Amino acid sequence: MDKKYNLIIIGAGPIGIACALEAQRRGWSYTIIEKGTLVNSLYHYPKGMQFFSSSDNLELDNIPFICKEPKPFRIEALQYYRTVVQSRDLNIKLFERVNHVDKKANGEFYVTTSKDAYLSSNLIIATGFFDYSNKLNIPGEDKNHVSHYFDDPHFYANQRVAIVGANNSAVDAALQCYRAGAKVEMVIRGDDIGERVKYWVRPEIINRIADGSITAHFGSNVKEIQSDHLVISNKNESKKLAVDYVLLMIGYQPDYSLLEQAGVTFEEDDMRTPKYDPKTLETELKGLFLAGVVLGGLKTNAWFIDNSRDHGKKICDAIQKRA
Ligand SMILES: Cc1cc2nc3c(=O)[nH]c(=O)nc-3n(C[C@H](O)[C@H](O)[C@H](O)COP(=O)(O)OP(=O)(O)OC[C@H]3O[C@@H](n4cnc5c(N)ncnc54)[C@H](O)[C@@H]3O)c2cc1C
């Protein structure tokens, strides 16, 4: 039966692909099921985005990742992971969302997707965190000129843009929009630009704020968003900022609905960290494993490509030992 596998991997991000390479090496029947395009999260990163990791730290299975500068751009990463998948002829079902996972009495997983249903002895959830944005939960957040994702700075040329947040995504968007000729105002909850901002970018944003090219409202929270302005508050004072667009660059979180539905349990911490065995990455449900950035729960900076690349090997070793 071609719909029955030894291993199903949910998500064709870099780590889902790393898991598939391991399964293929062992000659297992496996498939990846991906709801979007190949490396869908990376595809939706800002167009001009440059990784903070050097390309050798993003390589899978020692397949060389050659690029122009030491740190690759998004477009080069898309090309690299595409080449890995195509040159190894990995089994992938694209544009097929996993909607439901059931563990049957015989221990097998019954996986229902937007197109079909499959059986698998083992399951890896490698669904990342980029599809669900954090919310401010304020009036106007769902208006058309408000987005939680930044794509291309050209769109904001000659426009007034408010950017909420002070970490890498917010800072990258602010600098790129400024360079494209937007009038940029940042709204920042704390008193400084985030400590985790890339060390070679941080001085630049600080200088642009100091010389007045970009305005930063520190110690401020957004209270509401209207079609042509937003209201921010600083201590007891509130202020209106006239804007054309609002970018809420306040982070992302994993799809907890799939994890919960599949039977994953969680630590009693603030980070909604999934429970798993650190040696095998198996959850409390036998045969159900987690890989990649999803392991961190709300702590989305705990795992990245570099330190998750070995998850596929860890998991496949554990499955093999059991067989
Ligand atoms: C702007 C930015 C810059 C970054 N720079 C770096 C860097 O320099 N170095 C680094 O190591 N990391 C970096 N990261 C983090 C890195 O991109 C992630 O750690 C990496 O993508 C994690 O890989 P993953 O396979 O675990 O998850 P993802 O790449 O997020 O892949 C998860 C996949 O699962 C799919 N999926 C989700 N739900 C379902 C479903 N129900 N059914 C089917 N498919 C589903 C998604 O579409 C997605 O393709 C950066 C992240 C961002 C946002």
User: pLDDT (tens digit, 9 = 90+) per residue, 276-311?
Assistant: 999 999 999 999 999 999 999 999 999 999 999 999
What is the pTM assigned to this prediction? 0.96
The answer to whether 222 and 187 are in contact (CB under 8 A) is: yes
Q: Which atom of ligand 1 is nearest to the CA of 294?
A: 26
Q: Whose CA is nearest to atom 9 of ligand 1?
A: 53
The string of pLDDT tens digits covering residues 43-97 is: 999 999 999 999 999 999 999 999 999 999 999 999 999 999 999 999 999 999 9
CATH placement of domain 4-132+252-322: 3.50.50.60
Residue with CA nearest ligand 1 atom 41: 98
- Cα–ligand 1 centroid distance for 166 (angstroms): 21
CATH node for 135-248: 3.50.50.60
Q: What are the C-alpha distances in Å from 197 to residues 43, 170, 270, 291?
A: 22, 9, 23, 25
Q: Which of 31, 41, 115 to mutate to test the pocket of ligand 1 (most atoms within 8 A of CB)?
A: 41
Check: CB of residue 215 under 8 Å from CB of residue 208: no
CA of 169 to the centre of ligand 1 (A): 14
Residue 20's DSSP bridge partners are: none
**Neighbouring C-beta atoms of residue 70, cutoff 10 Å:** 11
- φ/ψ region of 52 (left if φ > 0, alpha if ψ in -120 to 50, else beta) reads alpha
Does the Cβ of 296 fall within 6 Å of ligand 1? Answer: no
Please state the φ and ψ torsions of residue 252, each to the nearest 5 degrees.
Answer: -135, 170
Nearest atom in ligand 1 to the alpha carbon of residue 43 is: 49
Q: Which residues are registered as beta bridge partners of 248?
A: 164
Strand runs labelled E in 88-214:
92-93, 98-103, 109-113, 117-125, 132-133, 146-147, 160-164, 183-187
Q: Is the CB of 304 under 6 A from ligand 1?
A: yes
